[in-house]
Structure 1
């Protein structure tokens, strides 16, 4: 497969080089940058984002804080739903309720890698909320998305890397910021929800010091009624009460040694509690973590050096009380890391990136033996703009992995990446990427401990328990993708085609264990995923009368096929064939009024259940979100957000191979309203 991909890529590059000889070079125009920051509508104070001097052929997309505020985004997930290739988690799906960032899929595969200021972040050992789930747009400067493999990022195999840059002070004031209060509710015959939130963002400068403090507290109280049904039985209604509390505190300090050097220290403290009960089961989850990031940065024109040190500790407790007795799971993660990243730009057309990353991870559990893990990585990537219109990037990342304790395992692998960018003119471009990578399973996926599901259908095929698999092998991935783009200051259109071949594909598989169904990650023989993505946006700049307008949309298709041992094939479970979304935003400056509407669509699809004589049907779903922000004098503002308007319920139905009905589960989609009041100071 690798040779065929290489031949295809070589043929494409040859065609591009031949084509370029017939394109008249325009010496009056500079080649377009690979960073595509499309101009968006803005209001209020706007932070200036400097042009990225990076000449890499790997493209980067930037979502600014102003764009998130215009769309009424309340979370990182709200912003990412407008980016092609991401399938968002369905609220209410799964035994724990709404999924966070960790439940997101990228192009039908695993979750993308999240970074905060360039540092990888993670969730709890049992899948608890990560730092990403507690961030609000007030705390974020911008979100950088790299959808194609890059050896300089935390993971080559995942392709999508999302780097969240925290907010920088807007001016030289000693202190400024904002306070936001929010109250939301949702009510229907089967659901009642009340949400209260408070977020504070403060920052400032004093001589060579830059400092900031972000805090977020939210409390969600929910009463829901789910409907389950088995063959030959009537519908069973199960009432469940949940209370979720989330708190995050992030102090940050930065000292500018001189114009080229600075040191930064930041702390992330997070606590998440989820208490729920129904007629049969009481569930209590508690996840607490603290992370310290420190780094030294030096920038001299296009050259830079960055040294990163990190320490993190996570404690997670899961208690389930039911007729089976009491299940108590306690786990702790201790992680230590050191890394270096360097960039050398020899001239405007040549640059080199290099660095290393070392991490030591210890996972302790009261259910299993301690799992120790050491990861080492080194990378080198070079980029060369060899004509005014063509750039090539070649890199490799060498990784080593050692595990001991619960699993004794050693592995090393090399991941090469080749990328090429051809700019036909200042608007049209073609970017192509060829890569080979390995993805080792996270330590969380290796723990065999079973986490019991809840509700009346707990332990069934539609609502299985969850557990890990200590015998997982790493995935081996060969990938090819190409993007044809047309981009201007007012917007653009990008069409991407991709193909990935994965050996030892990891899929969540349900099996019967001791009379209950348990879902565990399992290696399949091999799989292929391929599809097309079409995304675009258009922005009308503010007119003299104060009107401005933005329109964006995306369609992302994916087909994931798994090869069976008997020579046949089947479609991967849980992966929708495509997803689509569209958004429109209108602003009227004289009234300081910004409004937006977003629509998301997922079609109905049917997939076989691995290793079971059943097929699962998931219904067609539509989701509409509306928001409006009104700004007043003296820094006051209010935002009204309506979620799940005109939305459809989430339904899954299981059928036997002969078409006979077996089991069904319904989670109702309830419209909700969130009103927030903000004061800037």
Structure 2
């Protein structure tokens, strides 16, 4: 295939060519689409010139010389922006299409997407974490900014992080004590109430974060308890008229995370951390009652040795997660009970020979068992070896070459054995101290997750449950792995006060996995299916400007991003269509302002998704998703003796989520659905000790 030959071309020339081709092709497609009818201030790590680093606190220089770019979000930035979760921080990173409130099953949120593909991989201190058996909440959803030192976002393939196929890894680094006190921390109490028309939401939150040092021991504990009760409406329109239905939902979430670290000497340490999480949702709409529970406990242990640029890490993990789902109505009743048990053992090593050469290598083994009261047990074993070398062969050029070999064996529900080899080639050229060009090329195979393979059907809510606009959801045990060839290049201009980065990317995917709606036993069910071939490409523009604190105490930070994506599917007969649920672009901007004499920090963030229309696979309908705007604001005022108050508002001035299905033959309405967008307000009182 002609694309394979590009691996061995001249990298700087290739970078410019890929960037120009992707920019031009996306612009041409975007113009064609818009002509259709519309009725339907942290310090940058020294080696990375293409990264977007935000925040204000100084970070130690990273000895890593890899050409793979990284974006870093610090705890200081998250606190300045008033972030309450990891998702709040990610909304400012280009390439992510964030969940839409009210869009997903049971009135929750739809899945996060990265550049038109699936969800990114989440790591905690370098260790992968899983969601529920059918994509339920993970420990990431319960982590608060107070627990985090920084978030490292790697958007390009890296064999060291098992991200060759996903191209997006989010590594959450938990913080260590900020001083030498035996105990310090904070307590937060939060309350919020929203009442408007038929919408209502009440939120309560209690959280504790404490840490300390005692000789060679470092310890911390985080606990969080949340209650969220809401009332919203859904409006459905079809040939029979318009009808409304009210949904009441009560959510409870508990998270408890103790962590202990023992420093053997200046270079070695032992770490153990436990994540316990329990989430429960009770809801009713009409004559339908739902009860969902997700309970998990995870133990991470590791040995670390660091000696300047050299390091060794041995990781052992155990996690058990149970998810139950009960649905009852006059027409339907179901109960699902699924449990995931996972064991992992891995080793990661880094050897830095001098200031210009380094090697990363490692091995990873995992055993995963999924038990269900409905489907046969699914057992999975994964093994991987990786090797990645980086060479700074001139003062301004670095090349990284890596490969990952994986073996996969599934038994029980699915009898499947596979192995694949994933190479990655990256190059970075620093034209000056501010201008740089970075290119990444990779080939990979992405096997479907176990929650995508389980055929269990999760029943949707509301009176229109089981329709095309509100289908039930399930997995597909016959899924094949995706085969991906990816190209990406970033042109960056970065200084201490900010910068601009523009990225062009292109991905060819064989056996692309898309969620498709099909009629099953009189109800519509959405399941993942393999499409013959898909192409995703686009351009991202991200910028940041930070004004450091002036003599009078003023400081501000301005960020903005536009991320475009064109995702096209081609079937076996060479017919093309756009992927059904990928927006053509998203945009966001944020402004954070701090006035030190008043100890006042404020921020406002705006996110925008345009209206877009897409054809449904094998169905004679076009689906139109409406234009949406979300505005988030927050303000924090600090007082003497460690007291502080914060007011945060999420999803204000937002538009409801609307979907319309129109007949492709004449454009007439088949069915429409409107989900309420509920604004969220929270007033928090904090006391540091």
The answer to whether TM tops 0.5 is yes
**Change over 3 Å in CA distance of 1:39–1:513 after alignment to 2:** closer
Structure 1 runs (4+) greater than 4 angstroms displaced: 14-17, 35-42
Q: Which residue of 2 aligns with 1:343?
A: 350
Q: Which residue of 2 aligns with 1:650?
A: 657
Q: Which residue of 1 aligns with 2:229?
A: 221
Partner SS state of residue 149, structure 1: coil
CA shift, 1:565, in A, is: 2.5
CA shift, 1:7, in A, is: 2.5
Partner SS state of residue 152, structure 1: helix
Pairing of 1:57-68 with structure 2 (within 5 A) = 57-68=67-78
Pairing of 1:174-185 with structure 2 (within 5 A) = 174-185=182-193
Alignment size in residue pairs: 661
Q: Which residue of 1 aligns with 2:9?
A: 10
Counterpart selection for 2:276 from 269, 272, 284 = 269
- Measure, in 2, the Cα distance between the counterparts of 1:568 and 1:574: 18
Q: Which residue of 2 aligns with 1:22?
A: none
Pairing of 1:262-661 with structure 2 (within 5 A) = 262-658=269-665, 659-661=667-669
**Change over 3 Å in CA distance of 1:107–1:94 after alignment to 2:** same
Q: Which residue of 1 aligns with 2:20?
A: none
CA shift, 1:280, in A, is: 1.8
Counterpart selection for 1:668 from 665, 676, 679 = 676
Counterpart selection for 1:201 from 188, 209, 212 = 209
Partner SS state of residue 505, structure 1: strand
1:112 aligns with 2:112: no
- Measure, in 1, the Cα distance between the counterparts of 2:402 and 2:446: 17
> Whose RCO is larger (CA < 8 A, sep 6+)?
2
- Measure, in 2, the Cα distance between the counterparts of 1:517 and 1:41: 46
Counterpart selection for 2:48 from 34, 38, 44 = 34
TM-superposition CA deviations, 1:341-377 (whole Å, max 9, x none): 0000000000000001000001111101111000000
Contact 1:120/1:154 (8 A) holds in 2: no
CA shift, 1:31, in A, is: 11
TM-score, length-scaled by structure 1: 0.95
CA shift, 1:440, in A, is: 0.1
TM-superposition CA deviations, 1:193-220 (whole Å, max 9, x none): 0010111110000000000001111010
CA shift, 1:32, in A, is: 4.6
Contact 1:16/1:422 (8 A) holds in 2: no
- Measure, in 1, the Cα distance between the counterparts of 2:621 and 2:370: 36
Unpaired runs of 5+ in structure 1?
Answer: 18-29
**Change over 3 Å in CA distance of 1:186–1:6 after alignment to 2:** farther
CA shift, 1:669, in A, is: 1.8
Q: Which residue of 2 aligns with 1:242?
A: 249
Unpaired runs of 5+ in structure 2?
Answer: 17-43
**Change over 3 Å in CA distance of 1:37–1:590 after alignment to 2:** farther
Contact 1:39/1:490 (8 A) holds in 2: no
1:146 aligns with 2:157: no
- Measure, in 2, the Cα distance between the counterparts of 1:31 and 1:491: 13
- Measure, in 2, the Cα distance between the counterparts of 1:143 and 1:578: 24
Q: Which moved more, 1:33-42 or 1:305-314?
A: 33-42
- Measure, in 1, the Cα distance between the counterparts of 2:448 and 2:173: 27
Q: Which moved more, 1:81-90 or 1:273-282?
A: 273-282
CA shift, 1:74, in A, is: 0.7
CA shift, 1:230, in A, is: 1.2
CA shift, 1:97, in A, is: 2.2
- Measure, in 2, the Cα distance between the counterparts of 1:217 and 1:412: 43
**Change over 3 Å in CA distance of 1:9–1:189 after alignment to 2:** farther
CA shift, 1:476, in A, is: 0.1
Q: Which moved more, 1:326-335 or 1:316-325?
A: 316-325
CA shift, 1:9, in A, is: 6.3
- Measure, in 1, the Cα distance between the counterparts of 2:586 and 2:176: 34
Partner SS state of residue 6, structure 2: helix
Contact 2:53/2:72 (8 A) holds in 1: no
CA shift, 1:465, in A, is: 0.2
- Measure, in 2, the Cα distance between the counterparts of 1:167 and 1:36: 25
- Measure, in 1, the Cα distance between the counterparts of 2:625 and 2:675: 12
Partner SS state of residue 104, structure 2: coil
Contact 1:9/1:434 (8 A) holds in 2: no
